[in-house]
């Protein structure tokens, strides 16, 4: 019993000494000078900036301008004379994205270069058609119609969408911590809010317009694949719809696509 009482304090002293040694700063005296070398043990954090501790921030919010068109065209349900009635003028068919809300979440524990990005945005999509051609919703499908008022008239099809993205983004710092090349890809789900056709023309020297709202057998919900890439003030994007513009059997099979750049990023 007495031996146990003598051994117990010795064990406690040994453990305490070892713990203090691990939490202490080791000082060594070099052989060539009087200035000691201070070695920081593992786990001791000094004052300073660790950029890996910053939150991950993706790239979605901003105002983007681009052009959009219709690919993989199939007019097999229409006559040869009607085929191509939705051929669009690509460089005049614009799309404006206003993305005001963004949420970012890192997928790493000790880094901030890979993460998820989501948010909320509004897309205003316009297709410029042949100036003499418009469309209307027939009993069972989209029908082309010719509306001619003057030689300088304009015809277009416009839609407004509310969009929610889910993107995975990869970032690579270049020279400076804040300057990063990024690449993001994923899916954007959109809810169609409004669609209309509009023909602008002049009559007796006065500007006139014929606006016709309808759903035109278009999908209420849309899903698109998106790719985004950028560096500093250069921010580019491209998207391609995963489903046709019109519901099956109710219009030509056309797949919308768009590409553009950021006017303002925030």
Identify whether residues 101 and 149 lie together within a single domain: yes
Structure-token pair, residue 125: 């999509």
Does residue 64 form part of some domain? yes
Note the pLDDT tens digit of each residue in 180-211. Answer: 999 999 999 999 999 999 999 998 889 999 99
Residues 33 and 133 in one domain: no
- In this structure, how many other beta carbons lie within 10 angstroms of the beta carbon of residue 239? 25
**46 within a domain of the structure (yes/no):** no
Rounded CA gap, 193 and 179, in Å? 37
Indicate whether 148 and 89 sit together in one domain: yes
Question: Are 153 and 204 in the same domain?
Answer: yes
- What is the model's pLDDT at position 205? 84
Same domain, 88 and 163: yes
Q: Tell me: do 67 and 138 sit in the same domain.
A: yes
pTM: 0.79
Quick check: is 60 in a domain?
A: yes
108 located within any domain: yes
Could you report the average pLDDT of every consecutive run of 10 residues in the chain (266 residues)?
Answer: 46 43 47 54 48 80 98 95 94 97 94 96 96 93 92 94 98 85 98 97 90 97 98 96 97 98 95
Does 158 reside within a domain? yes
Q: Do 11 and 92 fall into the same domain?
A: no
Q: Looking at the structure, do residues 258 and 229 belong to the same domain, yes or no? A: yes
Q: Are residues 88 and 202 in the same domain?
A: yes
CB atoms near residue 138 (< 10 Å): 14
Q: Given this model, what pLDDT does residue 2 score? A: 47
Residue 166 placed within a domain: yes
Residue 247 lies inside a defined structural domain of this protein: yes
pLDDT at position 36 = 55
- List C-alpha distances in Å: 43 to 25, 46, 179: 11, 10, 30
Q: Are residues 106 and 205 both part of a single domain?
A: yes
Could you tell me if residue 11 is inside a domain? yes
Same domain, 127 and 22: no
Residue span of the structural domain in which 135 resides = 51-265
Q: How far is CA 149 from CA 135, 207, 210, in A?
A: 16, 11, 11
The pLDDT assigned to 22 comes to 44
Q: What is the pLDDT of residue 35?
A: 58
User: Which pLDDT belongs to residue 50?
Assistant: 54
Same domain, yes or no: 81 and 129: yes
Tally the domains of the chain.
2
């Amino acid at each position: 019993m007495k031996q146990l009482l003598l051994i117990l304090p010795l064990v406690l002293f040994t453990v305490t000494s070892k713990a203090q040694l691990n939490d202490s700063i080791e000082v060594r005296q070099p052989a060539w000078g009087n200035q000691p070398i201070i070695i920081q043990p593992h786990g001791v954090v000094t004052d300073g900036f660790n950029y890996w501790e910053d939150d991950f921030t993706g790239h979605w919010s901003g105002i983007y301008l681009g052009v959009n068109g219709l690919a993989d065209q199939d007019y097999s349900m229409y006559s040869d004379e009607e085929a191509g009635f939705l051929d669009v003028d690509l460089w005049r068919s614009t799309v404006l994205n206003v993305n005001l809300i963004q949420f970012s979440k890192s997928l790493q524990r000790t880094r901030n270069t890979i993460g998820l990005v989501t948010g909320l945005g509004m897309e205003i999509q316009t297709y410029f058609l042949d100036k003499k051609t418009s469309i209307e919703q027939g009993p069972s499908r989209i029908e082309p119609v010719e509306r001619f008022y003057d030689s300088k008239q304009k015809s277009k099809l416009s839609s407004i969408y509310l969009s929610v993205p889910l993107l995975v983004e990869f970032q690579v710092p270049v020279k400076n911590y804040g300057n990063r090349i990024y690449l993001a890809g994923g899916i954007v789900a959109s809810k169609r809010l409004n669609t209309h056709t509009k023909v602008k023309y002049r009559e007796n020297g006065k500007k006139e317009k014929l606006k016709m709202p309808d759903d035109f057998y278009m999908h209420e919900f849309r899903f698109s694949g998106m790719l985004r890439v950028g560096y500093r003030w250069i921010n580019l994007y491209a998207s391609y719809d995963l489903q046709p513009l019109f519901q099956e059997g109710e219009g030509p099979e056309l797949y919308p696509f768009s590409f553009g750049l950021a006017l303002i990023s925030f």
